[in-house]
Chain A
Amino acid sequence: MGFFLVQFLTGLASASALFLVAAGLTLVFGVTRIVNFAHGSLAMLGAYLAWALVGVLPAGPLGWWGGILVAALAVALFGLLVEVVVLRRVYGAPEIFQLATTFGLALLIEDLVRVLFGPADRLGPRPPGLAGTVILLGEPMPTYDLFLVFVGPAVLGLLWALARRTRFGVLVRAASEDREMAAALGVDERRLFSAVFALGAFLAGLGGALQLPRETLHLEMDLEVIVEVFLVTVLGGMGSIPGAFLAAVLIRELEAFGILLFPRITLVLAFLVMAVVLVVRPQGLLGETETGSGPDPRLLRPLRPAGSRARLATALLVGLLVLLPWLVPPYGLVLATDVMVFALYAASLHLLLGPAGLVSFGHAAYFGLGAYGAALAVDRLGLGTFPALALAVAAATLGALLFGAVARRLAGVYFAMLSLAFAAILWATAVQWDELTGGDDGILGVWPDPRLSPLVVWYELVLVLTVLALVLLRTLIFAPFGLALRAVRDHPVRAATLGLRPGALRVAVLAVAGALAGLAGGLHAFAKGSVFPDVLHVARSVEGLVAVLLGGLHGAGAGPVIGAAVFVLLEDWASRLPWWRTVVGGTILLVTVAMPEGITGGLARLAGRWRRRVREAEG
Chain B
Amino acid sequence: MSAPLLEVRDLVVEHAGARVLDGVGFAVPRGRALALLGRNGAGKSTTLRAVMGLVPRRRGTVRLAGRDLERARPFEIARLGVGYVPEDRRIFRRLTVLENLEVGRIPARDRDNPWTPARLFDLFPNLRDRRHHPGGRLSGGEQQMLAIARALRGNPELLLLDEPSEGLAPAVVRQLLAALRAARAHGLTLVLSEQNWRFARLLAEEVCILERGRVVFLDRTAELDARPDLRRRWLAL
Q: Which of A59-67, A165-173, A255-263, A436-444 contacts B (4 or more CB under 8 A)?
A: A165-173
Q: Which of B32-40, B84-92, B227-235 contacts A (4 or more CB under 8 A)?
A: B84-92
Tell me the bound Cα distance from A174 to B101 in angstroms.
Answer: 11
Q: CB-CB contacts of A153-193 with B at 8 A, as 1s and 0s?
A: 00000000000000100110110011011111111110000
A180 and B54 form a contact (CB under 8 A): yes
18 contacts across the A-B interface (CB closer than 8 A): A167-B102, A170-B95, A170-B103, A173-B95, A174-B103, A177-B92, A177-B94, A177-B95, A178-B92, A180-B74, A181-B92, A184-B54, A184-B84, A185-B84, A185-B151, A188-B75, A189-B75, A288-B94
B150 and A185 form a contact (CB under 8 A): yes
**Which residue of A has the minimal Cβ distance to B136?**
A177
Given A184-B84, A288-B94, 12 more pairs with CB closer than 8 A: A170-B102, A174-B95, A174-B103, A177-B92, A178-B90, A180-B54, A180-B74, A184-B52, A184-B75, A185-B106, A186-B75, A188-B75
How far does the Cβ of B109 sit from chain A's closest Cβ, in whole Å? 8
When distances are taken between beta carbons in the complex, the residues of chain B under 8 Å from A180 are 54, 74
A184 and B93 form a contact (CB under 8 A): no
Most buried by B among A171, A173, A177, A185: A185
Tell me the bound Cα distance from A102 to B207 in angstroms.
Answer: 51
Q: CB-CB contacts of B99-113 with A at 8 A, as 1s and 0s?
A: 110111010000000
Tell me the bound Cα distance from A181 to B85 in angstroms.
Answer: 9
When distances are taken between beta carbons in the complex, the residues of chain B under 8 Å from A183 are 73-75, 78
Please report which residues of chain A, range 447-475, place their CB below 8 angstroms from some CB of chain B when the two chains form the complex.
none
How far does the Cβ of B237 sit from chain A's closest Cβ, in whole Å? 27
Tell me the bound Cα distance from A180 to B54 in angstroms.
Answer: 8
Please report which residues of chain A, range 264-314, place their CB below 8 angstroms from some CB of chain B when the two chains form the complex.
288
Total residues of chain A contacting the partner, CB 8 A: 18
Q: How many A-B residue pairs have CB under 8 A?
A: 58
A residues at B contact (CB < 8 Å): 167, 170-171, 173-174, 177-178, 180-189, 288
When distances are taken between beta carbons in the complex, the residues of chain A under 8 Å from B86 are 181, 184
How far does the Cβ of B106 sit from chain A's closest Cβ, in whole Å? 4
Chain A CB within 8 A of B79 CB: yes
Tell me the bound Cα distance from A171 to B95 in angstroms.
Answer: 10
B residues at A contact (CB < 8 Å): 52, 54, 73-75, 78-79, 84, 86, 90, 92-95, 99-100, 102-104, 106, 150-151, 154
How far does the Cβ of B182 sit from chain A's closest Cβ, in whole Å? 21
B103 and A185 form a contact (CB under 8 A): yes
Tell me the bound Cα distance from A182 to B78 in angstroms.
Answer: 10
Kindly list the 5 A-B residue pairs having the minimum CB-CB distance in the complex, ordered from nearest.
Answer: A186-B78, A186-B106, A183-B74, A174-B103, A181-B90
How far does the Cβ of A219 sit from chain B's closest Cβ, in whole Å? 40
Most buried by B among A173, A177, A188, A288: A177
When distances are taken between beta carbons in the complex, the residues of chain A under 8 Å from B54 are 180, 184
Tell me the bound Cα distance from A114 to B139 in angstroms.
Answer: 57
When distances are taken between beta carbons in the complex, the residues of chain A under 8 Å from B150 are 185
Partner of A185, one of B73, B94, B99, B154: B154
How far does the Cβ of B27 sit from chain A's closest Cβ, in whole Å? 22
How far does the Cβ of A176 sit from chain B's closest Cβ, in whole Å? 9
Tell me the bound Cα distance from A83 to B100 in angstroms.
Answer: 27
**Which residue of B has the minimal Cβ distance to A188?**
B75
Tell me the bound Cα distance from A461 to B15 in angstroms.
Answer: 51
Tell me the bound Cα distance from A587 to B100 in angstroms.
Answer: 43
**Which residue of B has the minimal Cβ distance to A169?**
B99
